[in-house]
Structure 1
Amino acid sequence: MTSSAHVLSLPAPAKNQTYVTISALDAGWLTLPEHLFITNAALEKRTTVPSLAFLIQHHSPSNNLPTSSTNLVFDLGLKRDFTKYRTAQQHHASQRQPTITSPDAAASLLAGGVDPKKDIDTVILSHVHWDHVGTPSDFPNSRFVVGSGTLHLLANGAGPLYPAELFNYDELPFDRTYELPPSSSSEVEKAAKQQTDHKWEALADFPAVVDFFGDGSVYIVDSPGHLIGHVNLLARISPTKWVYLGGDCCHDVRILTGECDVAMYDDGHGGLRSVHLDTDAAKGTISRIGGLLKRGQVVQEDGGEVDVEVVVAHDKGWSESNKERFLPGHL
């Protein structure tokens, strides 16, 4: 590492640092035409990929037990029952066949000894595209957490490329759903005047993260570009190991490594588009996450080098080579 290298600094562990345990969950598979997602792909190339979900177990001291666990699920993958999608969603899903919907997130949890009806405290959705929302009714006692603007998006869509018909306005239980406050500089002051559970702060190269448990174990990362309200998670699993769950920051890890770029294609309205709502913002997010992959350029504030494993939702290679890290196994 040269003196001119850009070094990312993550917080050092506290004296009594809490760590989390992360287990991958099978949550359905869908098929992607590669030319819509990465540059230089053959028009006929289609790949069936997972839509990964994750169980995050946060272990903290309790007055009554040696440890107590707060269980968080990140993303829910596909619905097992496609009739629960709206007509426009079903039409879109028909272009992503073949799909696999069993096991879904709830079934994967049950198979690993975790009851989604009783044991999951919080569900955080990276965003509300059809292949990430799963079946929220499987979690009748969980709080749902979504990124800023998500509830408006569900009701109103986001312009001609993302009309309201592509979303279920009542997808989430409104009485149990918490929407994070705005993170953009123009909105932070306004949000600060409102009563919120969390506040955004900068961390490493990320302008806006939320310390979800308040103990430096799990950070929600504002990850703009793919869709309104898109968020990622950065979690601490040991003194020298972090995991970054990237959702749909990109759909192929070769974009993160710089081997490919985000594909652009005809938007049907006389212009070009990508799979991201805001391609420039998405590329900024991709660049920041890509920095985590550069060994020797991520350290903790105490000077120790750390490893950050980045996992994106549709990484087929990761899924197939890490079967032992699915529940009941862990990362």
Structure 2
Amino acid sequence: MSAIVFPPPASADKQVYVTISALEGGHLTLPERLFVTDADPNVKRTVPSLSFLIQHPSTPPHGGGSNTKIIFDLGIKRDLNKYMPAMQTHIANRQPVITSPDVADSLRAGGLDPAKDIDYVIMSHVHWDHVGTPADFERATFVVGHGTLHLLENGAPPHYPKEIFDPQLLPRDRVWEFRESPIPEVVFGPADEYVGQNAASFQGRVWRELQTAAGETIFPAVIDLFDDGSIYLIDSPGHLFGHMNFLARVGSAKWIYLGGDCCHDARILTGEKGIALYDDGTGTGRLRSVHVDTDVARSTLNRIQTLLPEKKGQGTALRRTSGTIALGGDTPVEIELIVAHDGSWREKNQHRFFPGTI
């Protein structure tokens, strides 16, 4: 498998940049004890489910504009009754849930029509607080990670029964599901059950490695979405089957990393907290986390943290969620990492919501 050097050489003939804007995608309430270690069992936080608009300077597949417009994640449905009954029972335990404004509202407020102006919707994964209302995006192609369509139809028991998923969530004639990645942990369901039907790789793209200039692998499975070094989709296993992250170039030395649900609290990235474990409810005494595979989720987090500069403090190596790092090469870059449920980031960055940019 071929490799991509990150960051790309400064002498690259053609440097393509994208713009990214945050979008409101609703809010949900999370009990801290299920997500981070050493939590007060009585503390709950109402957090956002962030979505993002990415604009790439290329001709849209449907024409009629100068930019290809992509949405990463769709947040929460504005009508909670549209979830499957079993999922509505789960959502009752995540109250308060705020559904307005949703992603469609956020786009319209900035002057875009979700039905006509959005070309692609990329889903980090299909948990309820990320799937939004796909019917709003009438001409968009939906891009999902390997195993997603199998998951929607069959679930992943015992913790993710099929009853909580809507097999009709996505329009099958407008879905591209990536082929199985080379990371063995993410194998789920029949390897190519949907590929070759209504699913396809994005413009024929293939999995590649993302490496430093020194040849060290950062991520073993990424897709150069436009084949120009501006956007990488990253296979990020552990949280849920098909989970993907998003790395985009917004300036000559500035990148944005959208981490989805690689973790649910930025303190896990800094090392201040760990992934919480709790009884799995089967009566066996086994422990689980909010991730389908906790060990694999930790491995993914370790890879992500290699992008972040270390900050020494009180004898412990902590990591900031943005900063400048050379990554073993001569070209330093600034990487800002944003996870979907970071309420502090939302509060501090209101000016970066659409029509503003990150």
2:7 to 4, 7, 10: 10
Given that residues 182 and 220 in structure 2 are in contact (C-alpha distance below 8 angstroms), is that contact kept between their aligned partners in structure 1? no
How much does 1:75 deviate? 0.2
Unaligned runs of 5+ in 2: 212-217, 310-322
Indicate yes or no: 2:248 matched with 1:251.
no
Indicate yes or no: 2:341 matched with 1:314.
yes
TM-score normalised by L of structure 2 = 0.85
> What CA distance in whole angstroms lies between the structure 1 residues aligned with 2:25 and 2:55?
18
> What CA distance in whole angstroms lies between the structure 1 residues aligned with 2:7 and 2:274?
27
Aligned position for 1:282? 297
RMSD: 2.0
Task: Give the partner amino acid of 2:16.
Answer: T
> What CA distance in whole angstroms lies between the structure 2 residues aligned with 1:296 and 1:138?
38
Give CA deviations for 1:209-249 in whole Å, capped at 9, x if unaligned.
00011111011000000000000100000000000000000
Give CA deviations for 1:59-85 in whole Å, capped at 9, x if unaligned.
1379xx9x8200000000000001100
> What CA distance in whole angstroms lies between the structure 2 residues aligned with 1:168 and 1:282?
25
**Structure 1's 27 and 61: CA in aligned 2 closer, same or farther, altered over 3 A?**
closer
Unaligned runs of 5+ in 1: 1-7
Task: Give the partner amino acid of 1:293.
Answer: L
Aligned position for 2:288? 273
Aligned position for 1:198? 205
> What CA distance in whole angstroms lies between the structure 2 residues aligned with 1:313 and 1:166?
21
TM-score normalised by L of structure 1 = 0.92
Aligned position for 2:38? 40
Task: Give the partner amino acid of 1:282.
Answer: A
> What CA distance in whole angstroms lies between the structure 2 residues aligned with 1:16 and 1:184?
29
Indicate yes or no: 2:104 matched with 1:106.
yes
> What CA distance in whole angstroms lies between the structure 1 residues aligned with 2:246 and 2:256?
8
> What CA distance in whole angstroms lies between the structure 2 residues aligned with 1:10 and 1:164?
41
Aligned position for 1:5? none
Given that residues 49 and 316 in structure 1 are in contact (C-alpha distance below 8 angstroms), is that contact kept between their aligned partners in structure 2? yes
Aligned position for 1:292? 307
Matches within 5 A, 1:1-331: 9-12=6-9, 14-60=12-58, 68-184=66-182, 196=201, 197-204=204-211, 205-269=218-282, 270=284, 271-294=286-309, 295=323, 297-299=325-327, 303-331=330-358
Q: Secondary structure at the match of 1:73?
A: strand
How much does 1:108 deviate? 0.3
Matched-pair identity in %: 56
> What CA distance in whole angstroms lies between the structure 1 residues aligned with 2:163 and 2:177?
21
How much does 1:170 deviate? 0.8
**Structure 1's 15 and 259: CA in aligned 2 closer, same or farther, altered over 3 A?**
same
Higher relative contact order (CA 8 A, sep 6+): 1
How much does 1:16 deviate? 2.1
Pick which of 161-170 and 178-187 moved more. 178-187
How much does 1:9 deviate? 4.0
Task: Give the partner amino acid of 1:210.
Answer: I
Count of residue correspondences: 317
Q: Secondary structure at the match of 1:235?
A: strand
> What CA distance in whole angstroms lies between the structure 2 residues aligned with 1:53 and 1:324?
15
Give CA deviations for 1:174-194 in whole Å, capped at 9, x if unaligned.
00000011003567xx87x97
How much does 1:159 deviate? 1.7
How much does 1:10 deviate? 2.2
Aligned position for 1:4? none
